[in-house]
Amino acid sequence: MNTKQIIDTTEDNCFHVYNRFDVVFDRGEGVKLYDTDGKEYLDFASGIGVTALGYNNKEFNDAIKAQVDKLYHISNLYYHPNLASASKALCDISGMDKAFFTNSGAEAVEGAIKTAKKYAFSKSGHNGYGIVAMENSFHGRTVGALSVTGTESYRNPFYPLMDKVTFAKFNDYASVEAAVDDDTCAIIIEPVQGEGGVTPADKDFLVKVRELSDKLDILLIFDEIQCGMGRTGDVYAYMGYGVKPDILLTAKALGGGLPIGAFLVTDKVAKNSLTPGDHGTTYGGNPLCCAAVNASIDLMSKNKLIENVNSLTPYLEEKLDEVVSKCHNAIAHRGKGFMQGLVIDDKVKVGDIVKKCLSEGLVVLSAGGNVLRLLPPLVITKEDIDKAIDIIVRVLQ
Ligand SMILES: *Cc1c(COP(=O)(O)O)cnc(C)c1O
């Protein structure tokens, strides 16, 4: 099939739920992507924060290939070596006590919601509990995850959703305090909001929400599906804030490109919530995806990816300052580590800028609030930053 036939066949056969860009990607190498015409692109999107190691990493690929020839699925009825090693590795790096592997981010959110509801149920002996979520949050597209996602236009066609969800203002402690009542079993927060506009939480806000959760024995859920796994310069963003959640959600970069997520809990939560029969998944934590988790975690430390994020973040932020001062359409930038957003003037559609960058050979993302979102692989160099910034400046001017 040629490029046009690929696009047409896809549109003829896939449910039209995405407005895809007019590009057909064929292969990747490091921080570069190549389309079917051989054109090269610099990737500052990582497939939405997933391919943190870049493309075609030999050690990662070898680990997966070796597992393919051994065993890729066995179900959760049995033990396998990779579930042992991946759960241990993930508990070790996350500082949490117990892991449940899922197949996606949304499924990790669903697991967290059920865990929190069961925790409250076990404690009080009755059901009927609700959740406090944040405005501008994004937690996924399944019905439970959508119920706690703070964008009304995403939710509206699908009402009634999960009952008893109250939205509070992100970074506004008083509004969280006002939203919490006797029926609240959990508060769910992205420490750095991604989809909603790349907005980091204030430390003081998280500290106070933690205190409130402790006082009322409400579970604090941090959705680090996008901001976790080294992206912000800490293994998990909560560590940089010094505020630990009761339930931690991870996915996107966890499998380095293979589909796997997890919800992680403290011992206190594990001992007082889900028990056998309460939850499950057929594929979650399969040998192949767990091999990917092991390789991702291994290579994150071996290749010093977090050190790279921390050493290059000041430079990236300095260059973004320059973009803001040079381009009148760029109003401000915000973010943490390699999760950065450029706020674009409302007169210009950020989608058009993303499209223009793509035609200039740079892959970037958009986010809510007219924000140009950068989620580069964690392996980028100073030269990659220079190239990306040059293209962004050219496009904005
Ligand atoms: C992407 C994302 C999700 C949903 O993950 P899926 O794998 O698409 O289901 C949930 N929360 C956050 C913060 C995300 O960025």
Q: What is the CATH number of the domain that holds 36?
A: 3.90.1150.10
pLDDT of residue 36: 96
Same domain, 285 and 342: no
CA distances, 132 to each of 144, 149, 177, 314 (Å): 13, 11, 10, 34
Same domain, 311 and 298: no
Same domain, 319 and 359: yes
Q: Using H for helix, E for strand and C for coil, what is the string for 178-232?
A: HHCCCCEEEEEECCEECCCCCEECCHHHHHHHHHHHHHHCCEEEEECCCCCCCCC
- Pick the last residue of a domain from 285, 302, 319: 302
Q: Is 104 in the pocket of ligand 1 (CB under 6 A)?
A: yes
How many beta carbons lie within 10 A of that of residue 382, not counting itself?
Answer: 12
Instruction: Give distance in angstroms: CA of 121 to centre of ligand 1.
Output: 27
Encoded tokens for 337? 């580590």
One-letter amino acid identity for 97? D
Instruction: Give distance in angstroms: CA of 224 to centre of ligand 1.
Output: 9
Among 210, 212, 248, 243, smallest CA distance to 93 is for 248
Same domain, 28 and 65: no
Same domain, 298 and 340: no
Substitution candidate for ligand 1 out of 224, 225, 366 with most atoms within 8 A of CB: 225
Among 103, 175, 97, smallest CA distance to 135 is for 175
pLDDT of residue 380: 98
- Pick the last residue of a domain from 251, 277, 302: 302
CA distances, 299 to each of 16, 132, 296, 378, 379 (Å): 37, 36, 5, 11, 11
Q: Is 226 in the pocket of ligand 1 (CB under 6 A)?
A: yes
Instruction: Give distance in angstroms: CA of 223 to centre of ligand 1.
Output: 8
Same domain, 334 and 285: no
Same domain, 140 and 28: no
Kindly tell me the burial class for residue 366, based on how many C-beta atoms sit within 10 Å of its own C-beta (0-12, 13-18, 19 or more).
buried
pLDDT of residue 26: 97
List CB contacts of 369: < 8 A, sequence separation 6 or more.
Answer: 136, 196, 197, 343
| Coil, helix or strand at residue 282 | coil
pLDDT of residue 319: 98
pLDDT of residue 370: 97
pLDDT of residue 307: 98
- Pick the last residue of a domain from 284, 302, 320: 302
Same domain, 163 and 244: yes
Encoded tokens for 167? 């939205």
8-state DSSP, 2: -
pLDDT of residue 297: 98
| Coil, helix or strand at residue 312 | helix
Same domain, 221 and 74: yes
Domain containing residue 275: CATH number: 3.40.640.10
Which atom belonging to ligand 1 lies closest to the Cα atom of 223?
13
Number of domains comprising the chain: 2
Which atom belonging to ligand 1 lies closest to the Cα atom of 261?
7
Q: Is 105 in the pocket of ligand 1 (CB under 6 A)?
A: yes
**Chain-centroid distance, C-alpha 275:** 27
In this structure, the chain runs to a length of 397
Same domain, 242 and 196: yes
138 is catalytic: yes
CA distance 262 to 104: 8
pLDDT of residue 54: 98
Same domain, 136 and 208: yes
Low-confidence ranges of the chain (pLDDT < 70): none
Instruction: Give distance in angstroms: CA of 107 to centre of ligand 1.
Output: 9
Same domain, 83 and 230: yes
One-letter amino acid identity for 30? G
Question: Does 276 sit behind a cis peptide bond, omega within 30 degrees of 0 on the bond before it?
Answer: no
CA distance 116 to 380: 38
Domain of 343, in residue numbers: 3-53+304-396
Among 279, 270, 281, smallest CA distance to 122 is for 270
pLDDT of residue 13: 98
The catalytically annotated residue of 100, 138, 263, 338 is: 138
Helix axes 382-396, 350-359, angle to 10 degrees: 120
